[in-house]
Amino acid sequence: MRGLWRRSPQVQAPLLDSADLVVESLSMEITPEQIARVATSMGVSADELARFAANGKKLVYAAGEYLFHQSAPRRFFGIVLRGKINLQRGLAGRNVTIACLTEGAMIGETLFVDELAHSVSGLALEETEVWAIDKEAIEQFRIEKPEVFYRMVARAARRLSLRLRETTEMLMRSGLERAPVTGFRLEHDSLGEREVSNAHYYGIQTLRAVENFPFSGIRLSHFQHLVNAFAQIKKAAAEANAELGALDPDIATAIGHACDRLLAGERHEDFVVDMVQGGAGTSSNMNANEVIANLALEILGREKGDYAFCHPNDHVNCSQSTNDVYPTAVKLAVVSATHETVSALGALRKALQAKAAEFADVIKMGRTENQDAVPMTLGQEFNAYATMLHDGIRRLERVAEDLLVVNMGATAIGTGLNSPRGYAELCTAKLAQISGHPVALALDLVEATQDAADFAMMSSALKVTAIQLSKVCNDLRWASSGPRCGLNEINLPPLQPGSSIMPGKVNPVLPEVVNQICYQIIGSDTTVALAAEASEFELNMAEPIIAHNLLGSLMLLKNAAVVLATRCIDGITANRERCADYVKSSIGIVTALNPVLGYERSATIAKEALTSGRGVYELVLERGWLSQAQLDDLLRPEKMANPLSPDTEP
């Protein structure tokens, strides 16, 4: 085999015989070795696989871009040509890595067996190329080459069975590796002593916080990006302190390794403090300090709670305060979550743009204040929705940049008390390196420690995006209303029965739920605004509720965008005849006669048409104000929908 021969993405090519295959030397996408390796895995010959794969195309994904989202319908089977893809599961703020796919791996084999939605998300860890064969091409191959196709199905089923076995074994190992409850250790703080189970890596202050704040049931561990942000900050601080002579290098190294374990996904379950808490985030910071200290003690060969060798405050929290650590952690978490949300909104925008192109020739009646206005195309309507989403994405990205200005090194109130000279600058530089975000140190640390304006701006951007998205959903519900006694201009995909008493009723459940999600995000903005205003003197005590609402809103908006795009927008169809009938029968088309007849005569026609039930066209001809040819030209729907287009000039 000499390479993979690809078709134009715009043309549905027939399945090719090997004699028809032509090597494109400048764009050879897959090597003979890759073809042979994948063919063996799929139970077919290299020639058979080449015939199948010739109907695909190369897709390129930037680092950090999602190939697909959990719960979205499967679109293609793919072969990884280059790069790394992280398969992860979790929609509620925390992801669990299932596998990492590299060159030569197959993705989406389940499409050979069924059309169930993705059970995981696929995230490109670096620039990644995938050779993708969409499900339409797979179905065509099934029809034309059934004997080859069903061999591939059998092998896909076998691979899925092996994956299930591996997953089961992984779960069993996970259960066996859980720390047994071997007893309790005695810890103390300024309020006294408490027993803490040896199964836990957190300590006495976390235990008190769990008891004091039993409110939302949403723990720190619910938001993976927040836990990772704490780990990145503590590692950066340890490295900076060691370099400046403020921390023993061996302890700093152990702290760094402990943070690496958190960043690898370990012990997130020990971040148990409720997101809603008093103390301006102190309990969250101490939860991180205690878990990292006990992980570091384990690395040093010591027992949990043996804090003389690595102390949560003296070592893990060295040169720090909750008042610089917590807001910085929240900012990093929000920036990471925003990236995911923007990716999902981008997918929704593309879905709307695709519908705009599909409906470009569908003439319909525009409406203002729920009354007939003038004609337009359904494509113009959907393109406007896509533009709204673009504005929302741009706004979120711009505001997220401002969150990368942090106050690390401010310590308690911004003066840098208890930190060595140069620590703020060095710690911030280390944090930028470790986190991968272009973090910058605030110019005025006193101001940055007390001012929550950046959080309020992010919340406001989320609110505006939610307002725009909710408006789109309002229109989808109205346009699909009926089917007999409503507008019925579009059809939404039927997803579930709509009534326990009315047979056959199907409701627009996804636009409805996205409306409600948007209401939640809009309401959360009020909470964030009040919390940002609650800053008094040198500190804002209400940052925990800000974090809770921002991260929750980002999670909701991300999931809403994914589900709305894949389960609703992609499946919308237009009722072309219904749209055209509305235009023909509308009085609103009289607006096009204003430049010729004048407003007064046009209004007279409109009034008579409304009272008599006769058409505008008929009445104008009857009065002899215009010829039939003139009317036909002025009232052409495509001309009224695109009056400035050169193609619609007389």
Report the C-alpha gap between 54 and 64 in whole angstroms.
28
Cβ–Cβ under 8 Å, residues 431 and 439: yes
Single out the residue of 585, 576, 582, 577 nearest to residue 617, CA to CA.
Answer: 585
Cβ–Cβ under 8 Å, residues 462 and 527: no
The answer, yes or no, to whether the previous bond of 483 is cis (omega within 30 of 0) is yes
Spacing of C-alpha 616 from chain mean position:
49
Report the C-alpha gap between 544 and 330 in whole angstroms.
9
Name residue, tokens 């004048």: 598
Report the C-alpha gap between 62 and 112 in whole angstroms.
27
List Cβ neighbours of 602 (8 Å cut-off, separation of 6 or more). 590, 591, 593, 594
Give Rg (Cα) of the chain. Answer: 30
Residue type, 7: R
Name residue, tokens 């599961």: 89
What are the φ and ψ backbone dihedral angles of 67, each rounded to 5 degrees?
-75, -40
Report the C-alpha gap between 75 and 77 in whole angstroms.
7
H or E element: which one contains 132?
Answer: strand 128-134
List Cβ neighbours of 93 (8 Å cut-off, separation of 6 or more). 222, 223, 224, 225, 337, 551, 552, 555
**CB-based burial, 263-276: b 16+ in 10 Å, e otherwise:** eeeebbebbbbbbb
Structure tokens at 571: 């499946």
Single out the residue of 259, 616, 217, 205 nearest to residue 431, CA to CA.
Answer: 259
Residue type, 517: I
The answer to whether residue 221 is catalytic is no
Across the beta sheet with 85-89, the strand order is 66-68, 121-124, 85-89, 96-101
The active-site residue out of 18, 27, 161, 499 is: 499
Catalytic machinery residues:
499
